[in-house]
Amino acid sequence: MQPMNVDLSGQSALVTGAGRGIGRAIGSALASAGARVFLAARTTDQLESAAREIQQDGGTAVPVPTDLSNEEDIRLLFQRISDRTGGLDILVNNAGVGVFGPLAEFSSSDFDRVMRVNTKATFLCCQQAMRLMIPKRKGYIINISSVVGFKGYPNQAAYTASKHAVMGLTKSLAVEAQEHGIRVSAVLPGGVDTKMIAEARPDLDPKILLQPEDIAHTVLYLLSLSDRAAVDQIYIRRRGSQPF
């Protein structure tokens, strides 16, 4: 899948949450553009299936089963990448979980789980990536946030809090990373046809939703820009939904 002229040959990329949905589509798109892609997620069979698809299409993919809620797993993930490539050019933080329900009935353990995967893992992956990118004075970090990174919906308090936090992290890191030649952007999708949206918004007809490939194309667009351009965030919504 390569909808535009993007050449990532010789570059290494990591995509988290890469076993299915948006992450799987992003991994495929980066590999089609020539990147050597490391695929991280917890479910081994999904990762291996995603890697096989890429390899069958002539791309290079390395599945790395990783529990993104575990700090040591994240450290080992980046150590493996460093050992194999000597660095990292692109990080796409896509891994996320959604637990939904009325705030008054929401458990603190579910809140902690959502924040641990969606926010803390993003922080830790950004930290590890910066340590690999700073010495080379280049790199691109793309955080997949959500429309709930700036809007609110009922029964989504924990998920919304986690994505607001991702936006705060992204905004601060974008300023901090500039002096090292590293760009940082956020992509904020509206409704995408994934298992998570089916759980969060069962009222939405899948036929009207964005597809994971739409988000992958957006990531490729960011990577196609010249070094002169810096994009802070892209909000991509389904056509027919209310803007902002």
C-alpha–C-alpha distance, residues 5 and 33, integer Å: 8
153 catalytic per annotation: no
Nearest partner of 39 among 1, 4, 90, judged by Cα: 90
Residue type (1 letter), 163: K
- 222: burial class by Cβ within 10 Å (0-12, 13-18, 19+)? buried
Structure tokens at 120: 């803390």
Q: What is the DSSP letter of 236?
A: E
CA–chain centroid gap for 223, Å, is: 14
Say which of 140, 159, 221, 235 is annotated catalytic. 159
C-alpha–C-alpha distance, residues 73 and 21, integer Å: 22
CB 163 within 8 A of CB 118: yes
Q: Where in the sequence numbering do the catalytic residues fall? A: 159
